[in-house]
Amino acid sequence: MRVWIAAAAALSAGACAFEPPEPPELNQAECYTVDIFDDRHARRKILPPDAAVQPQWAAFSGVWGQGAWDGGQCHEIHVTQVFADGSAVVLDTVAPYRNLRASAFRRPAMLTEDGRLVLISDGTRREYRIEDGLMYGTRTEPGGRTAEVILTPQS
């Protein structure tokens, strides 16, 4: 009887063990957002920062992609202009995902003294930082919900 109780206890303990879910893949090589077409104003063209721009800010210049917010909605950001006063212009794109539509918006951004790129639109704040050649992003929505993404430089 004791052997049976011990075996039942061992089996039930194993059945109740919690396996944490795998963390989401924040950087996905197959991620794709939208095609941004050239226009007569060349708004998607990446303009190189001039020499007066701090190197930590100039590092943001270019196209960053192949990332997915919390492993779901694909995201790409084109940092088209970076200025010495700490301002920047970006094209902010996302792919369709579940009930969300694809979008691409041209937005102003700010660069902080501690080397972050910050965008605020519709109450949502996005902060990006560069570490070891990757761009890490955090999105904070008005209700406080956050999402993470990792972007790689695109050629």
Number of domains in the chain: 1
- Whether residue 5 lies inside any domain: the answer is no
What CATH number has the domain bearing residue 115? Answer: 2.40.128
- Whether residue 16 lies inside any domain: the answer is no
- Whether residue 7 lies inside any domain: the answer is no
- Whether residue 113 lies inside any domain: the answer is yes
Residue 85 CB burial class (10 angstroms; 0-12, 13-18, ≥19): exposed
- Whether residue 14 lies inside any domain: the answer is no
pLDDT for 44:
76
- pLDDT, one tens digit per residue, over 27-44 is 877 777 776 666 766 667
- pLDDT, one tens digit per residue, over 89-141 is 999 999 988 998 888 899 999 999 999 999 999 999 999 999 999 999 999 99
Contact 88, 78 (CB under 8 A): no
- Whether residue 19 lies inside any domain: the answer is no
Considering only CA atoms, which of 113, 91, 117 is closest in space to residue 104?
Answer: 91
Average pLDDT over residues 56-61: 98
pLDDT for 15:
53
- Whether residue 8 lies inside any domain: the answer is no
Averaged confidence pLDDT in the chain: 86
Question: What 3 state SS string does the chain have?
Answer: CHHHHHHHHHHHHHHCCCCCCCCCCCECCCCCCCCCCCCCCCCCCCCCCCCCCCHHHHCCCEEEEEEEECCCEEEEEEEEEECCCCEEEEEEEECCECCECCEEEEEEEEECCCCEEEEEECCEEEEEEEECCEEEEEEECCCCCEEEEEEEEEC
Q: Which range marks the domain in which residue 145 is found? A: 24-154
- Whether residue 15 lies inside any domain: the answer is no
| Pairwise CA distance, residues 123 & 106, whole Å | 16
